[in-house]
A = this chain, B = another copy of it.
Amino acid sequence: MTRHETAAWLLAHDRYVILTHRNPDGDTIGCASALCRGLRALGKTAHILENPQFSARYGRWLDGLLCPAPGPEDTVVSVDIAAETLLPDNAAGLAGKIRLAIDHHGSNTGFAACSCVEPDLAACGELVYALLVEELGVALTPELAEAIYLAVSTDTGCFQYANTTASTLRVAASVMDAGCQAYAINKVFFGTKSISRLQLEARLTESMEVLAGGLVAICHVPLGWMAELGLTEDDLDAIASFPRNVEGVEVGVTVREQAPGRLKISLRTGEYTNASAICAHLGGGGHKAAAGATVQGEYPAVRAQLLSAMRAEGVPV
């Protein structure tokens, strides 16, 4: 659906329950928070479905908005979710029942009855902004402004990534005018590292595997490091970007052991390599420059699969 049709659809329904994705980040949470507040401002009943993986630092975007489960009459909407396999465990039963998907992933599988998907946008938050503010005329309160800011800043790495456009920056300017305290958000999510995180980065620097004359860098994060370094989930945030950010690296890979025998592979690539195509060989997907896959197995075997997926896509490893 177009933005205009989606806005009309949102006006025509009520009793909203909004879904966020597994491993929720600032884009899915910011979108859910903004959409929930925006729908309430329009006189609708709206909640966000609890997600067992919400971390404490997102509290102020979620307080007062959560519900434990949708009722049978509720209108279930997903934000920033590309596929039903990305639903959190407590929402798995809602597969097939999602009425509207608002998303910016080109790989969106079309799982919802209606979809509003704009793959050219850096953040799903830009689409939620357009729907609420531009289409539906919702006034930007500071809370709504900060929800949009959380979303757009998260998916652009605070306006640093290649997906950032002039339009992204204007959305951010607009929400700052509306009272968003951007720096307080930046400080927590981009400007601050815990000592544990710094120790993790020091270890990754020492243990990184560099291949193809420096074009490829692979970081392996064994499960045991979590306890050894006292790492929280927040400390692992955006760790997938770490190897790609080494000078000269075109393909940065992190392989994180999430549970014994379950490895989460994340790729971040430059303009010459399609991360999504590589991850498709491993049963995953995503964007061209950022994709992932979850694989069962031990690191040496998974590393071999990964290298072979890269070779299949022309990476000289």
Contact = CB atoms under 8 A, between A and B. Distances in A.
Interface of A: 157-162, 164-167, 169-170, 172-174, 176-177, 182-183, 186-187, 190-195, 198-199, 201-202, 205-206, 245-247
Nearest to A234: B247
Contacts of A161: 183, 186, 191
Contacts of A245: 191-193
A192 B158 contact: no
A213 B180 CA distance: 30
B169 A176 contact: yes
Given A176-B169, A192-B245, A193-B245, A186 B198 contact: no
Give the number of copies in the complex: 2
Say whether chain A's binding surface is mostly helix, strand, loop, or mixed.
Answer: helix
Contacts of A199: 205
A130 to B, nearest CB: 16
A173 B182 CA distance: 17
A206 B195 contact: no
Contacts of A187: 162
B169 A173 contact: yes
A56 to B, nearest CB: 14
B246 A193 contact: yes
Contacts of A198: 201, 205, 246
Contact of A247 (B158, B167, B192): B192
A123 B142 CA distance: 26
Given A158-B159, A183-B162, A183-B164, A247 B194 contact: yes
